Amino acid sequence: MRIVVDTNLLVSGVISTGIPRTLANAAKAGVFELCTSEVLLAELLDVIGRNKFAARLSQAGLTPQAIVDDLRALSVVVSPASVPRVIASDPDDDHVLAAAVTGAADLIASGDKRDLLPLGSYLGIPIVTAREALQRIEAGGQSGS
């Protein structure tokens, strides 16, 4: 199974415990293929590089660049030829959709209740919460998807 995980969930998975962390750990363990793009990796670097996360990352012995480098290494990194204009209120979310389409993702996992989750799906790719993504991974895990 190939999943695009939105930046907000990746940040949560890095800095806190709970379902986003479980999803991030499943990606690290190879339970599913993480799909992303350089634009999404740059956004992640920008967000986790903010001062509000510095102390927490330092305590964990992590740097923003090391986190992004690790994610790049375990991800399928795609380069969308074009980025659709779908979400007028947050064009950055269009890059999530473009990565999912280009990478032939099975799912998009997001915590974005304002823009992405209300879409429900995009071009047949379901957009679900982290909890729903984990449930789908567990359900499909037995068949090797």
Write out the two tokens for 2: 């190939």
Output the pLDDT for position 3.
Answer: 97
In angstroms, rounded to a whole number, what is the distance separating the alpha carbons of residues 54 and 120? 34
Residues 1 and 42: their CA atoms lie apart, in Å, by: 24
- Average pLDDT on 64-82 reads 94
CB 54 within 8 A of CB 46: no
Count structural domains, the chain: 1
Confidence check: pLDDT of 145 > 50: no
What is the pTM (predicted TM-score) of this model? 0.90
Distance CA 3, CA 125 (A): 10
- What's the pLDDT tens digit per position in 76-91? 999 999 898 998 788 8
Q: Which amino acid is at 140?
A: G
pLDDT confidence of residue 37: 97
Report how far residue 88's alpha carbon sits from residue 80's, in angstroms, rounded to the nearest whole number.
Answer: 19
Tens of pLDDT, residues 110-141: 999 999 999 999 999 999 999 999 999 999 75
Q: Which domain holds residue 119?
A: 2-141
What CATH number should be reported for the domain holding residue 109?
3.40.50.1010
